């Protein structure tokens, strides 16, 4: 088995990292006792005795807390306890100066991962002070060091500790924020899917289902007219049934296109928008103008661009009360640029890219789709209209895991 492949990343909610840390702390304490006893440093065995009396019980207590009381194990007081333990060891056995500094840096780095940047830096400041003050009470000669060299070592230890803790805490905070954004995106996706199902169910019930009931009644009446020999009435009823069927076909096609055209492996973004153009014009009472450059883009990218276009057109028609919407897509300076411009009334005093509020999930999804393309979304709005602009890197073959493919059809 590949050891790298066997390694896995623990989820944020898992208690396993704390248990692993507690086991590592206990193993380190036992190894320190064994090493001090075997090597015999210092010669009288004081270091081994102190670590056995202070470090081992403290490590056992932390293991107990990590397994049974994870909330307590995550308390910043645990970091302070680690530092106090190291300070006691160094105070009793000054010769452990170097080992204590290395252990303090390692432990504080792990605590910064658990606690975050602010608490981690605060604990680091406390640790530097807790170790430096007792150190000043000792004679540097006891460690075989000159005073100037000891000062340099202390400054280097303090700088290395604070920088390490600050960086690890910052990285952890960014990682946690990314996970929270991903979780919120998942919730929005689920809400969006449920909303689509609800709307589709309502549209089918109020539209095609009712029409099909009427179609069944019309065909039954036509059958009765044929049985009576009334050909004129039967012809009229069959003509009416044909009109009902055609209306249902158009309605179902509109609903299907509103969900988004499929087969992106087969058609281009231009063809997909062209297919929805008539639906948008009928549904929102607008005129759609297209200026789309023929680009050979991966299907995943075209799907995201279409969804942003669909949302922008829907906002212009439903909320902006626009008369005309212009959709343009082109490539320049190594980027793909999508613009959707309308002549509606804009968003008023609402910041379209501000904090997501109820009813603005569509705008949030546009921003997130742009981020998925490693691009940017800009919305300029005013009384004379709104422009939605998306700029994303033009994908190259094999880049971002996307694969270019040829077109098989355009209509």
Indicate if 143 and 275 belong to the same structural domain. Answer: no
pLDDT, mean over the chain? 78
Lowest mean pLDDT across 133-137, 179-183, 248-252, 273-277: 133-137
Angle CA(32)–CA(37)–CA(42) in degrees, nearest 5? 90
* Nearest CA-CA partner of 352 in 375, 324, 374, 385: 385
Residue 5 resides in a domain: no
Per the DSSP assignment, residues forming a β-bridge with 339 are 328, 389
3-class DSSP assignment, residue 13:
coil
3-class DSSP assignment, residue 135:
helix
Indicate if 29 and 70 belong to the same structural domain. Answer: yes
Residue of higher predicted confidence among 256 and 303: 303
pLDDT-derived band at 264, boundaries 50, 70, 90: very low
Those residues whose C-beta lies under 8 Å from the C-beta of residue 5, and which sit 6 or more positions away, are none
Tell which of 163, 186, 209 closes a domain: 186
- Measure the CA–CA gap between 268 and 270, rounded to whole angstroms: 5
Alpha helices in 93-209 (DSSP H): 97-115, 117-136, 147-204
pLDDT at position 240, please?
87
Indicate if 330 and 378 belong to the same structural domain. Answer: yes
Indicate if 145 and 18 belong to the same structural domain. Answer: yes
Which whole-number Å values give the CA distances from 152 to 124, 156, 305, in the listed order?
18, 6, 58
Express as a percent the part of the chain with pLDDT over 70: 78
Residue 7 resides in a domain: no
pLDDT-derived band at 90, boundaries 50, 70, 90: confident
Indicate if 72 and 55 belong to the same structural domain. Answer: yes
Structure-block tokens of residue 342: 């309308």
* Nearest CA-CA partner of 258 in 196, 303, 330, 181: 196
Indicate if 225 and 331 belong to the same structural domain. Answer: no
Given a cut of 90, whether residue 76 has pLDDT beyond it is no
Given a cut of 70, whether residue 364 has pLDDT beyond it is yes
Edge-to-edge strand ranges of the sheet holding 324-332: 287-292, 324-332, 335-342, 385-393, 376-382
pLDDT-derived band at 10, boundaries 50, 70, 90: very low
3-class DSSP assignment, residue 390:
strand
Given a cut of 70, whether residue 56 has pLDDT beyond it is yes
Report CA dihedral (235, 238, 244, 249) to the nearest 10 degrees.
-120
Asked whether the whole model's pTM tops 0.75, one would answer no
Residue 335 resides in a domain: yes
Q: Mean per-residue pLDDT for 204-217?
A: 80
Angle between helices 76-92 and 56-68 (to 10 degrees): 170
Structure-block tokens of residue 158: 């303090």
What residue numbers bound the domain in which 127 lies? 12-186
Structure-block tokens of residue 367: 């921003």
> Helix count (H) and strand count (E) of the chain?
14, 5
**pLDDT tens per residue across span 140-174:** 555 555 566 777 888 888 899 899 998 988 888 78
- For residue 404, what is the DSSP state? -
Indicate if 82 and 130 belong to the same structural domain. Answer: yes
Those residues whose C-beta lies under 8 Å from the C-beta of residue 41, and which sit 6 or more positions away, are 47, 95
pLDDT at position 12, please?
46
Residue of higher predicted confidence among 82 and 263: 82
Q: Mean per-residue pLDDT for 37-60?
A: 76
Tell which of 133, 162, 186 closes a domain: 186
pLDDT at position 11, please?
45
Q: Mean per-residue pLDDT for 342-355?
A: 73
Number of domains in the chain: 3
pLDDT-derived band at 267, boundaries 50, 70, 90: low
Given a cut of 50, whether residue 282 has pLDDT beyond it is yes
Indicate if 275 and 332 belong to the same structural domain. Answer: yes
Lowest mean pLDDT across 90-104, 248-262, 359-373: 248-262
Angle between helices 117-136 and 76-92 (to 10 degrees): 20
Question: DSSP string spanning 328-344?
Answer: EEEEETTEEEEEEEE-S
pLDDT-derived band at 377, boundaries 50, 70, 90: very high
At 305, which CATH number? 3.30.565.10
Residue 110 resides in a domain: yes
Residue 243 resides in a domain: yes
Express as a percent the part of the chain with pLDDT over 90: 11
Indicate if 100 and 243 belong to the same structural domain. Answer: no
**Cis status, amide bond into 52, omega within 30 of 0:** no
Question: DSSP string spanning 281-339?
Answer: HHHHT-EEEEEE------HHHHHHHHHHHHHHHHHHHHTS--SEEEEEEEEETTEEEEE
Residue 386 resides in a domain: yes
Tell which of 155, 186, 217 closes a domain: 186
Indicate if 206 and 127 belong to the same structural domain. Answer: no
Given a cut of 80, whether residue 405 has pLDDT beyond it is no
pLDDT at position 387, please?
93
pLDDT-derived band at 398, boundaries 50, 70, 90: very low
- Measure the CA–CA gap between 137 and 159, rounded to whole angstroms: 21
pLDDT at position 262, please?
52
Residue 90 resides in a domain: yes
Indicate if 223 and 307 belong to the same structural domain. Answer: no
Residue 411 resides in a domain: no
Indicate if 275 and 382 belong to the same structural domain. Answer: yes
Strands 324-332 and 287-292: parallel
């Amino acid at each position: 088995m590949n050891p790298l492949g066997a390694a896995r990343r623990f989820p944020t909610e898992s208690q396993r990292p704390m248990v692993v840390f507690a086991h590592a702390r206990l193993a380190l304490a036992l190894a320190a006792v064994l090493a001090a006893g075997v090597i015999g440093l210092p010669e009288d065995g004081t270091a081994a005795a102190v670590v056995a009396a202070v470090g081992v019980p403290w490590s056992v207590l932390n293991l107990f807390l990590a397994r049974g009381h994870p909330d307590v194990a995550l308390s910043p007081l645990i970091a302070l306890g680690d530092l106090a333990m190291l300070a006691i060891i160094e105070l009793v056995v000054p010769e452990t100066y170097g080992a204590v500094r290395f252990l303090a840096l390692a432990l504080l780095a792990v605590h910064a991962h658990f606690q975050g940047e602010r608490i981690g830096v605060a604990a680091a400041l406390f640790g530097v002070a807790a170790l430096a003050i007792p150190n000043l009470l000792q004679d540097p000669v006891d460690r075989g060091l000159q005073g100037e060299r000891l000062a340099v070592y202390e400054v280097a230890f303090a700088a290395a500790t604070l920088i390490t803790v600050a960086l690890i805490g910052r990285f952890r905070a960014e990682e946690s924020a990314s996970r929270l954004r991903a979780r919120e995106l998942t919730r929005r996706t689920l809400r969006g899917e449920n909303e689509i199902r609800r709307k589709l169910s309502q549209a089918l019930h109020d539209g095609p289902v009712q029409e099909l009931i009427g179609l069944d009644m019309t065909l039954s009446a036509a059958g009765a007219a044929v049985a009576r020999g009334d050909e004129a009435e039967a012809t009229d009823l069959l003509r009416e049934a044909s009109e009902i069927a055609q209306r249902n076909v158009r309605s179902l096609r509109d609903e299907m296109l509103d969900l988004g055209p499929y087969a992106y492996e087969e058609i281009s973004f231009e063809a997909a928008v062209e297919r929805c153009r008539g639906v948008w014009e009928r549904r929102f009472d607008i005129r759609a103008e297209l200026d789309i450059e023929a680009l050979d883009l991966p299907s995943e990218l075209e799907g995201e661009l279409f969804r942003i276009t669909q949302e922008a057109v829907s906002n212009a028609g439903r909320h902006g009360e626009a008369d005309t919407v212009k959709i343009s897509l082109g490539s320049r300076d190594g980027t793909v640029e999508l613009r959707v411009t309308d002549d509606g009334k804009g968003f008023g005093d609402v910041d379209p890219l501000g904090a997501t509020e109820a009813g603005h999930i569509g705008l949030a999804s546009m921003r997130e789709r742009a981020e998925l393309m490693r691009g940017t979304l800009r919305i300029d709005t005013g009384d004379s209209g709104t422009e939605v602009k998306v700029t994303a890197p033009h994908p190259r073959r094999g880049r971002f895991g996307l694969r270019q493919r040829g077109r098989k059809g355009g209509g």
